[in-house]
Amino acid sequence: MPVTKTIVRELTQFPYLSWDDAAPRASAPIRAALEMVLASCDGAVLTPQQNLLLAEAQGSDLLALLVAANQLRRALCGEVVTWVHNRNINFTNVCFVGCKFCAFSVAPKKEDAYFLTLEQVAHRAQEAWDRGATEVCIQGGLPHGLPKFYYRDILRAVKAATPKMHIHAFSPMEVLYGVELTSMSTADYLTMLRDNGLDTMPGTAAEILDDEVRQKISRNKLSSSEWQQIIRTAHRVGLRTTSTMMYGHMESPRHWVNQLQLFRDMQSETGGFTEFVPLGFIHDHTLMFKQQLARGGATLAEHLKVHALARVMLAGSIRNIQVSWVKLNQELSQLCLQAGANDYGGTLMDENISRLAGATAGEYTSPQQFAQLIRAIGRTPAERNTTYSRITLMPEIHPTHAGAPHPALVKIQPAVTGGAA
Ligand code: SF4
């Protein structure tokens, strides 16, 4: 759908509308559904048909969804927008899986192929700690012939260099590869990773959890049921994870609804999700786009809708909805934060995966930039840890503190828990 200036103007007005402005313009079924969620702050009150109706909302119905999601976010999370001080470490770009949406991976003999040693990974973690990071997010491609216990050895190397660093690492696809390499059970393998320093896991490699779609976009990747089994097992052994969904390619609103409902159901079973992260497809340099298998990323309406739908459907279940600034860019991230989201993600320091697919939002957002961006939309910036168990508001005035481990932060809130756990 071409995004005309009029549509953009109308859509971007939603942060200035109240529910009383938006509700009378919405159709009766949309209004009834949203009123039920607003009254209960619980997305469980909606039927599958109502969820699909919301996912397909257009025009005034979409505006009502965005306004309701913003109101729900206010009721459930208040005015604080959190971010985490972290660094991405992608230890290799060599990968045999061949996902068609991926512009990051290369064959081993390519000129730009790289593989960080354990010492280099540990060194990057140490540098990040010295710059104030509390988390490293470690993921990589899947190279043939990876040493059997390489993932465990990464954890040992990082913990030896930075014992207090939170390690958020290894997608379910990497876990499956580790299980295959070692012939261990999933539970034993994850327990071993946990005992060697793994703190939490990214719920990446989810894309769309529908095997028909997965066959078309990444046929060599783990199946939907394998993804769920690994995440359930991780939660069972005490490893919390994020939940993610890649949208804006060849999926439809039905897939969004199914995936959000699945995450809601899983959260009821395990309580192990810390947040939901919608990931907009960056198409520019991908095979999937070149082969015309995918549309060219989400429209503005779809970006806003997915974040708002997540807030509504996950209300009373997964508390935190994160914007992926590296995929959205800063301006759109600010809009999505007013359409239901409450978390700005991480500083990242070295973002590679989206940049290589064509994203232009940059590789790093500093704490000071987060503060400015969050205050510009009238909200309160706060640094969090990975699990949202520590949230620290940033003061109004920031003294210069080049190289200090943490920006000048004022701890006023000892604990705010994320998720429904
Ligand atoms: S998305 Fe991950 S698994 Fe798929 S090709 Fe890229 S690096 Fe490999």
Per-residue pLDDT reduced to its tens digit, 131-187: 999 999 999 999 999 999 999 999 999 999 999 999 999 999 999 999 999 999 999
Q: Ligand 1 within 6 A of 104 CB?
A: yes
What predicted TM-score, i.e. pTM, was given to this entire model? 0.92
Residue nearest to atom 2 of ligand 1 (CA): 141
- 222 CB near ligand 1 (under 6 Å): no
Tokens of 69: 């999601």
What is residue 408's predicted lDDT score, i.e. its pLDDT? 30
279 lines ligand 1 (CB under 6 A): no
Q: Cα–Cα distance between 367 and 399 in angstroms, integer?
A: 12
Q: How far apart are CA 154 and CA 193, in angstroms?
A: 10
Burial 319-342 (b: 16+ CB within 10 A, else e): bbbbbbbbbbebebbbbbbbbbbb
Contact 190, 84 (CB under 8 A): no
H helix and E strand count, the chain = 18, 11
Does residue 102 line the site of ligand 1, with CB under 6 A?
yes
Distance 174 CA to ligand 1 centre (A): 10
For the segment 276-300, what is each residue's pLDDT rounded down to a tens digit? 999 999 998 899 999 988 999 999 9
Closest of 358, 290, 278, 360 to residue 318, by C-alpha = 278
At residue 404, does pLDDT exceed 80? no
Mean pLDDT of the chain: 91
Q: Does 99 sit in the ligand 1 pocket, CB within 6 Å?
A: yes
In this predicted model, what pLDDT tens digit does every residue of 252-275 receive, in sequence order? 999 999 999 999 999 999 999 999
pLDDT at 421 over 80: no
Distance between CA atoms of 300 and 384, rounded to whole angstroms?
28
What confidence score (pLDDT) does residue 397 get? Answer: 53
- Would the CB of 95 count as within 6 Å of ligand 1? yes
Q: For ligand 1, what atom is nearest to the CA of residue 141?
A: 7
Could you tell me the distance, in angstroms and rounded to a whole number, from the CA of residue 313 to the centre of ligand 1? 29
C-alpha 158 – ligand 1 centre gap (Å): 23
Look at ligand 1, atom 4, and give the residue with the nearest C-alpha.
99
pLDDT value at residue 375: 97
Give the C-alpha separation, 279 to 204, whole Å.
10
Residue 173 in contact with ligand 1 by CB distance below 6 A: yes
List the 240-247 sheet strands across, edge first. Answer: 86-90, 135-139, 166-169, 200-201, 240-247, 273-280, 320-321
Residue 407 confidence (pLDDT): 33
Contact yes or no for 152/183 (Cβ under 8 A): no
Q: What is the pLDDT of residue 398?
A: 46
Give the DSSP H or E segment for 391: strand 391-393
The finding on whether 169 has its CB within 6 A of some atom of ligand 1 is no
Q: Which domains does the chain have, with CATH numbers?
A: 80-393 (3.20.20.70)
State in Å: Cα 96 to ligand 1 middle.
8
In contact, 339 and 346? CB cutoff 8 Å: no
User: In this model, does residue 402 exceed pLDDT 70?
Assistant: no
DSSP summary character for residue 396: S
| 338, 377 Cβ separation under 8 angstroms | yes
Q: Residue 353: CB partners within 8 Å, gap ≥ 6?
A: 88, 90, 102, 104
